[in-house]
Structure 1
Amino acid sequence: MKIKYIYRALLSLVVVMVVSANRVQAQDPHFSQYFTSPMTINPSLIGKDVEDWRLTSTLRRQWWGGTVAPYNTYTASIEKRIAMNSTGDNQLGIGLMAFSDESNNGLLKDTYLSLGAAYNMTLDGAGRHHLGAGLTASYAGRLVDPSKFEFQSQFGSMGFQRSVPSNDPVTIQSNHYLEVNAGLNYNYSDTKWGFNLGAAVFHASKPRDGVYLNSTYTIDARYSVQGGMYFNLANHNQLMLSEISEMQGQNSIHSIGAVYKISVKDKNLRSFNVGLWERFGDAIYPYIGLESERWIAGLTYDVVTSGVKTASNSVQSMELSFAWQFFSAKHLPKPIKRIIQY
Structure 2
Amino acid sequence: MKNSRRWMQYSIIGILMCTMTITQAQDIHFSQFFEAPLLRNPSLAGIFTGDIRVQGVYRDQWNSFTNAYRTGSLNGEYKMPVGKGDDFMTVGGQVLFDKAGTVGLTTVHLLPALNYHKSLSNEKSMYLSLGFMGGMVRKSIDMSKMTTDNQYGGGGYDPSAPTGEYFTAPNFTSWDASVGMSFNTSFGEDQENSMFLGAAYHHLNRPKNSFYRNATIELNPKYVFSAGITFGVDEYSYFIIQADHSTQGSFAETIGGALYSYKLGGDPVDPLYTIHAGAFLRWKDALIPVIKLDRYPLSVALSYDVNVSQLKTASQGRGGIELSVSWISFLDRDNTSRDKVLCPKF
- Give the TM-score band, short-chain normalised: 0.7 to 0.9
1:264-310 per-position Cα deviation (integer Å, ceiling 9, x unaligned)? 11687331100111100100010000012312110100010012221
Q: Give the secondary structure class of the aligned counterpart of 2:34.
A: helix
1:84 aligned onto 2:82: yes
SS of 2:312 mapped into structure 1: coil
Q: What is the CA-CA distance between 1:124 and the residue it aligns to?
A: 1.6
Q: Over alpha carbons, which structure has the higher Rg?
A: 2
Q: Give the counterpart letter for 1:79 in structure 2.
A: E
1:44 matched residue in structure 2: 43
Q: Which amino acid aligns with 2:333?
A: K
SS in 1 for 2:28: coil
Tell me how far apart the structure 2 counterparts of residues 279 and 115 of structure 1 sit (CA, whole Å).
Answer: 28
C-alpha separation in 2, matches of 1:55 and 1:121: 23
Cα drift, residue 314 of structure 1: 5.4
- The alignment's TM-score, normalised by the length of structure 1, stands at 0.84
Q: Give the equivalent residue in structure 1 for 2:184.
A: 187
In structure 2, the partner of 1:137 is 134
Aligned AA for 1:163?
Answer: S
Whether the 8 Å CA contact 1:26–1:219 is kept in 2: the answer is no
Which amino acid in structure 1 is aligned with residue 77 of structure 2? E
* 1:240 aligned partner: 240
Query: How far apart, in 2, do the equivalents of 1:290 and 1:156 lie?
Result: 55
Matched, 1:34 2:33: yes
Match of 1:75 in 2: 73
Task: Give the distance between the partners of 1:291 and 1:121, measured in 2 at CA.
Answer: 29
CA distance in 1 between partners of 2:28 and 2:259 (Å)? 23
Give the drift of 1:153: 2.0
The alpha-carbon distance between structure 1 residues 180 and 214, as it changes in their structure 2 partners (threshold 3 A), is: closer
Which ranges of structure 1 fall in alignment gaps of 5 or more residues? 1-22
Partner of 1:229: 229
**8 A Cα contact 1:63 1:70, kept in partner:** yes
Superposition RMSD in Å: 2.8
Alignment match, 1:14 = none
2:207 aligned partner: 207
Aligned to 1:39, what secondary structure does the other structure show?
Answer: helix
Please give the alpha-carbon distance, in whole angstroms, between the structure 1 residues aligned to 2:49 and 2:315: 46
**Residues 26 and 272 of structure 1, relative CA distance in 2, 3 Å threshold:** closer
- The residue that corresponds to 1:284 in the other structure is 287
Q: Give, in whole Å, the separation in 1 of the partners of 2:110 and 2:38.
A: 11
SS at match of 1:310: helix
Q: Distance in 2 between matches of 1:162 and 1:231?
A: 60
Residue in structure 1 matched with residue 4 of structure 2 by the alignment? none
Does the C-alpha gap of structure 1 residues 160 and 81 become closer, same or farther in structure 2, counting only changes over 3 Å? Answer: farther
Alignment match of 1:175 (pick from 172, 192, 217): 172
Contact 2:62–2:315 (8 Å) recurs in 1: no
Deviation of residue 330 (structure 1)?
3.3
Deviates more, 1:296-305 or 1:46-55: 46-55
2:321 is equivalent to residue 318 of structure 1: yes
Contact 1:324 1:339 in 2 (8 A): no
8 Å CA contact 2:293–2:301 kept in 1: the answer is: yes
The secondary structure found in structure 2 opposite 1:142 is strand
Q: What are the ranges of 5 or more consecutive residues in structure 2 without an aligned counterpart?
A: 1-21
Q: What percentage of aligned pairs have identical amino acids?
A: 26
Summarize the Cα distance change of 1:340–1:154 in structure 2 as closer, same or farther, 3 Å threshold.
farther
